[in-house]
Amino acid sequence: MAQRVLLIIGGGIAAYKSLDLIRRLRERACEVRVVLTRAAQEFVTPLSAGALSNDRVFTDLFDLDDEREIGHIRLSRDADMVIVAPATADLLAKMATGQAGDLATAVLLATDKPVLVAPAMNPRMWDHPATRRNVRQLVSDGVHFIGPKAGEMAERGEAGVGRMAEASDIADAALQLVGGRSEGPGPLAGRHVIVTSGPTHEPIDPVRYIANRSSGKQGHAIAAAAAELGARVTLVSGPVALADPVGVDVIKVETAAQMMEAVRSALPADIAICAAAVADWHVVEAAGQKMKKSNVGAAPTLALAENVDILQTVARRGPRRPGLVIGFAAETENVIEHGQRKRKDKGADWIVANDVSPSSGTFGGDRNTVHLITADGVTSWPPDSKDGVARLLIGQAADWLSHHRIDV
For residues 159-180, b (16+ Cβ closer than 10 Å) or e, as one string?
A: ebbbbbbbbbbbbbbbbbbbeb
Residues of the chain with pLDDT > 70, as a percent, come to 89
Q: Look at residue 70 and tell me whether its pLDDT is greater than 60.
A: no
Is the pLDDT higher at 91 or at 148? Answer: 91
Stretch (H or E) spanning 85: strand 81-87
Dihedral angle at the C-alpha atoms of 52, 56, 59, 64, nearest 10 degrees?
A: 170
Q: Give me the catalytic one of 122, 134, 212, 295.
A: 212
Q: Look at residue 226 and tell me whether its pLDDT is greater than 90.
A: yes
pLDDT number for residue 187: 87
Q: Is the peptide bond before 46 cis (omega within 30 degrees of 0)?
A: no
Of the pLDDT bands very low, low, confident and very high (cuts 50, 70, 90), residue 67 is very low
Instruction: Name the residue among 218, 225, 229, 228 with its Cα closest to residue 196.
Output: 218
**Overall average pLDDT of the 43-67 stretch:** 83
**Range from 88-102, 225-239, 283-297, 352-366 carrying the lowest mean pLDDT:** 352-366
Cα–Cα distance, 70 to 165 (Å, whole number): 33
Of the pLDDT bands very low, low, confident and very high (cuts 50, 70, 90), residue 360 is low
**Range from 55-69, 75-89, 220-234 carrying the lowest mean pLDDT:** 55-69
| SS3 assignment, position 346 | helix
**Overall average pLDDT of the 359-375 stretch:** 79
**Range from 45-49, 173-177, 267-271, 334-338 carrying the lowest mean pLDDT:** 173-177
**Overall average pLDDT of the 125-134 stretch:** 90
Longest dimension (CA), the chain: 76
Cα–Cα distance, 18 to 10 (Å, whole number): 9
Q: What does the DSSP 8-state code read for residue 10? A: P
| SS3 assignment, position 151 | strand
pLDDT tens digits, residue range 301-330? 888 999 999 999 999 988 889 999 999 998
Instruction: Name the residue among 338, 341, 321, 319 with its Cα closest to residue 330.
Output: 338
Which DSSP string do the residues of 354-386 spell out, in sequence order?
EE-SGGG--TTSSEE-EEEEETTEEEEPPPEEH
Is the pLDDT higher at 76 or at 222? Answer: 222
Alpha helix ranges (H) inside 305-358:
310-315, 335-346
**Range from 334-348, 360-374, 380-394 carrying the lowest mean pLDDT:** 360-374
Delineate the domains of the chain, giving CATH numbers in brackets: 4-177 (3.40.50.1950), 192-402 (3.40.50.10300)
pLDDT number for residue 408: 53
122 is annotated as an active-site residue: no
| SS3 assignment, position 27 | helix
Alpha helix ranges (H) inside 10-54:
15-27, 46-53
Tell how far CA 29 is from the center of its chain.
Answer: 26
**Overall average pLDDT of the 6-31 stretch:** 92
Q: Look at residue 369 and tell me whether its pLDDT is greater than 70.
A: yes
**Overall average pLDDT of the 105-124 stretch:** 91
pLDDT number for residue 329: 92
Q: Look at residue 66 and tell me whether its pLDDT is greater than 80.
A: no
**Range from 72-81, 117-126, 354-363, 368-377 carrying the lowest mean pLDDT:** 354-363
Cα–Cα distance, 82 to 262 (Å, whole number): 31
Q: Count the neighbouring beta carbons within 10 Å of the beta carbon of residue 93.
A: 16
Question: How far lies 220's CA from each of 83, 169, 275, 300, 335, in Å?
Answer: 21, 16, 9, 36, 23
Strand (E) positions, 106-231? 115-119, 144-145, 149-152, 159-163, 192-197, 202-205, 208-210
Residues near 88 by Cβ (< 8 Å), separated by ≥ 6? 10, 11, 12, 39, 119, 120, 121
Return the bridge partners of 235, or none.
195, 250
pLDDT tens digits, residue range 145-193? 887 876 676 666 666 778 888 898 888 888 877 765 444 567 898 899 9
